[in-house]
């Protein structure tokens, strides 16, 4: 039941993640009326994005490991051994992609005027390198937070959210700064572009290679924590 629960959680969270991004944009630019060129509107949108990431971090705790990003599933699978790798690559990642595609279809049905998702604004290899670099650093940071701050939910989520937001901003004008192949594929599928060279190289191959490199780099540079180090430190009176 444990693995079945994870698969269901992945499907639901992937669906919700797409909707969360759409609802944030509707709230900021539709309900609150901020212009897309207004810096104040961007600040408000970033604030709601951080709140959204906190909510999803909490949902991941409730679901005991539910994910919405194939790169996180891949990193977890590679770190967890052969069985975990097979489960992540052949079951969890496809389910996350399906959840994202279903979400985009539902979004477009409810809001036909909604945008078409991230678009590549630079050359293919430039885009693949950009998504790869962004992914490398976010995966490395995520693994580092798990190691360095075990048990501190708020601090890990706060640092991780700010890091993701910063990297997203850095890459937003080039590739969309997505770092989530499933979310991008949902929008690309709706446009019929999910099997193009551009999509596969920039939003899948580059990030996947960067994830594997980050996991390898982390294992080489940092030694695994002992059981005593993994336990949260007791508060002193």
pLDDT in tens, 139-160: 999 998 887 666 688 989 999 9
Distance CA 181, CA 197 (A): 14
Distance CA 156, CA 163 (A): 11
pLDDT at res. 234:
43
C-alpha closest to that of 168 among 153, 156, 183: 183
Distance CA 36, CA 30 (A): 10
Distance CA 57, CA 97 (A): 19
Q: What is the pLDDT of residues 9-41, one digit of tens each?
A: 999 999 999 999 999 999 998 899 898 888 899
User: Based on the number of CB atoms within 10 Å of its own CB, is 44 exposed (0-12), middle (13-18) or buried (19 or more)?
Assistant: middle
Residue 105 has a CB neighbour count (10 Å cut-off) of: 14
C-alpha closest to that of 28 among 47, 14, 55: 47
């Amino acid at each position: 039941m444990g693995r079945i629960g994870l698969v269901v959680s992945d499907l639901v969270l992937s669906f919700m993640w797409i909707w969360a991004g759409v609802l944030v944009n509707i709230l900021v630019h539709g309900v609150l009326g901020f212009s897309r060129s207004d810096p104040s509107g961007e600040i408000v949108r970033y604030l709601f994005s951080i709140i959204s990431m906190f909510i999803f971090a909490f949902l991941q705790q409730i679901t005991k490991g539910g994910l919405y990003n194939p790169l996180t599933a891949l990193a977890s699978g590679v770190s967890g051994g052969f069985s975990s790798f097979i489960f992540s690559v052949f079951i969890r990642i496809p389910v996350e992609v399906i959840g994202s595609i279903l979400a985009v279809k539902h979004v477009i049905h409810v809001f036909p005027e909604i945008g078409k998702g991230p678009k590549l604004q630079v050359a293919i290899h430039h885009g693949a390198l950009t998504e790869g670099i962004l992914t490398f650093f976010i995966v490395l940071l995520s693994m580092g937070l798990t190691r360095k701050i075990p048990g501190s939910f708020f601090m890990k989520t706060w640092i991780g959210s700010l890091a993701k937001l910063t990297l997203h901003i850095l890459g937003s004008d080039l590739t969309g700064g997505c770092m989530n192949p499933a979310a991008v594929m949902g929008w690309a599928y709706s446009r019929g572009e999910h099997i193009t060279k551009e999509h596969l190289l920039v939003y899948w191959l580059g990030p996947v290679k960067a994830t594997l490199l980050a996991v390898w780099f982390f294992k080489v540079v940092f030694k695994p924590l002992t059981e005593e180090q993994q336990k949260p430190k007791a508060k002193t009176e």
